[in-house]
Amino acid sequence: MGILLVDGGRTLQGQVEVQGAKNSVLPILAATILACGQCVIKHCPRLRDVDASIQILRHLGCSAQWESGALVVDTAQMNCCSIPDELMREMRSSVIFLGAVLARCGQAELSYPGGCELGPRPIDLHLTALRALGADIEDRGGTLRCQAEKLCGTEIVLSLPSVGATENAILAACGAEGTTVICNAAREPEIMDLQEFLVKCGARIHGAGSSTVTVEGGRPLHGCVHRCIADRIAAATLLSAVAAAGGEAVLTGVDYRQLSTVTAALSEAGCRIRSQNSTISIARRDRLHCIRPVRTAPYPGFPTDAQAVLMAALLRSAGATVFVENIFENRYRHVDELARMGADIRVEGRVAVVCGVESLHGATLRSTDLRGGAALCVAALAAQGQSEIGELHHIDRGYEDIARDLRALGASVRRVESEEPHGEENKPEAQAKRKIRLSV
């Protein structure tokens, strides 16, 4: 794996197009299984998690290849309904394949998914939804064996508005006879994008974006051409980078309405935000100041995935800002790394208090998870001196090329490939070898 070398202390300026949404394309790739034909996915980001989904599709007998910047998937020759443990462990969202495979094959077998260690993320809601549709699910030693001679439309009431459970229920319901109504559904924009894709394939679905989604199942689906929405968390990361380093920038190709809670927080902190159509402009001249408590919540509340990057943007703000994490219980793993740069953050359970400091300094850091790794990049831009960020496999899961996008805004960021395996690059002996290579 490689490391990112970030030279901080420079203001940013420039324009960049926001990448395709990770949390949109992954369920769409699972949904291609239902199409039984060729789908062309445009604006698909080249991510580690997308690569994992491609490997799963190929294991199932489907074809997937990049053509002219788009991902072309053909599921007509799918001949397998089980996913091995080594592929499931690559990412948490691999469980989204369960509903699609079950709907197409009448059976599915897979193990519990992997992903970032952010605390317990049970898939009980997924399984409850599929059982309501008529699936018989058996859990043996972490392996799920699912069968359904016939899926039947029904009413599904989710106890929590889980994004993954909503998506799995939608996919399975497409293969069920009759109408399925999903109550207390998650409202995220990515679910709306999944609905748009499936409708293009011939499905009858409406209600995505609200708390009630209705699926009229049993219709044969076909392939289509679809362009994914922009990644609102990648956009939040770039906005936070400008807020941290200062300067001004324009983000294009993004729906500003999906980022209203993030832009509101940055505006309150002292940034000037202007939004219109598919463009967001941000400018930050003076020192930021503290803001009202930031409480993460399901959409349309403040996104948990943007919590870490906003926190990084406020490290040098005047005053103290309180963060309350209501989604994941272990989402402050990046705090210890930020402290290496001189940040003053106090954590108690789900609450973190960021006390602004006058300055930050460069340090040798390691990514703890996807969004935590992005937060380190944001903080490094505001620090004096150079920072080295390792364990980039976390960042690669959700950012197509974070160094490229930050350079488009004028940042001094470069990636240096190293030979150390994951987890080894921050050991003292590995750091010494790396410094020797960089000095040659």
Residues 376-411 as b/e (b if ≥16 CB within 10 A, e otherwise) read: bbbbbbbbeebbbbbbbbbbbbbbbbbbebbebbbb
pLDDT at 156: 98
58 is in an annotated binding site: no
Please compute the mean of the pLDDT values over residues 353-371 and round it to a whole number: 97
The CATH number for 22-227, chosen from 3.40.630.30, 3.40.980.10, 1.20.59.10, 3.65.10.10, is 3.65.10.10
Where in the sequence of the chain do the CATH 3.65.10.10 domains occur?
A: 2-19+230-439, 22-227
Coil, strand or helix at 133: coil
CB 307 within 8 Å of CB 327: no
**Residue 98 marked ligand-binding:** no
Cβ–Cβ under 8 Å, residues 82 and 56 = no
Residue 330 marked ligand-binding: no
Please determine, for residue 255, whether its predicted confidence score (pLDDT) is greater than 60: yes
Which residues 6+ apart lie within 8 Å of 171 measured at CB?
27, 30, 31, 34, 96, 99, 100, 103
In this predicted structure, what is the pLDDT of residue 114?
A: 53
Residue 438 confidence class, pLDDT cut points 50, 70, 90: very low
Q: Rounded mean pLDDT of 281-287?
A: 98
The pLDDT value given to residue 435:
41
For residue 300, is the peptide bond before it cis, meaning its omega torsion is within 30 degrees of 0? Answer: yes
Residue written as token pair 């993954």: 164
Is pLDDT at 169 greater than 70 in this prediction?
yes
Does pLDDT of 119 surpass 70?
no
**194 annotated among ligand-binding-site residues:** no
Q: What pLDDT score was predicted for residue 143?
A: 87
Residue 418 Cα distances to 102, 299, 376, 430, 438, angstroms:
41, 39, 19, 9, 10
435 annotated as a binding-site residue: no
Between β-strands 320-324 and 294-295, what pairing exists: parallel, antiparallel or unpaired? parallel
Sign of the four-CA dihedral 386, 391, 396, 397? negative
pLDDT band with cut points at 50, 70 and 90 for residue 330 = confident
Query: What does the pLDDT read at residue 416?
Result: 96
Q: What is the mean pLDDT of residues 276-298?
A: 97
pLDDT attached to residue 121: 46
Helix (H) or strand (E) holding 224: none
Count of alpha carbons within 13 angstroms of residue 306, beta-carbon side = 31
Please state the pTM of the whole predicted model.
0.92
Would you say residue 366 has pLDDT above 80? yes
Q: Catalytic positions, please?
A: 116
Instruction: Report the pLDDT averaged over residues 193-219.
Output: 98
* Whether pLDDT at 37 is above 70: yes
Q: Is 22 annotated as a binding residue?
A: yes
Whether domain 2-19+230-439 has CATH 3.65.10.10: yes
Among the listed ranges 142-146, 308-312, 380-384, 392-396, which one has the minimum average pLDDT value?
Answer: 142-146
Tell me what the mean pLDDT of segment 398-426 comes to: 83
User: Is residue 436 marked as binding?
Assistant: no
Confirm or deny that 168 is annotated as ligand binding: no
With cut-offs at 50, 70 and 90, classify the pLDDT of residue 436: very low
Known binder of ligand: residue 433?
A: no
Identify the residue with better confidence: 370 or 111. 370
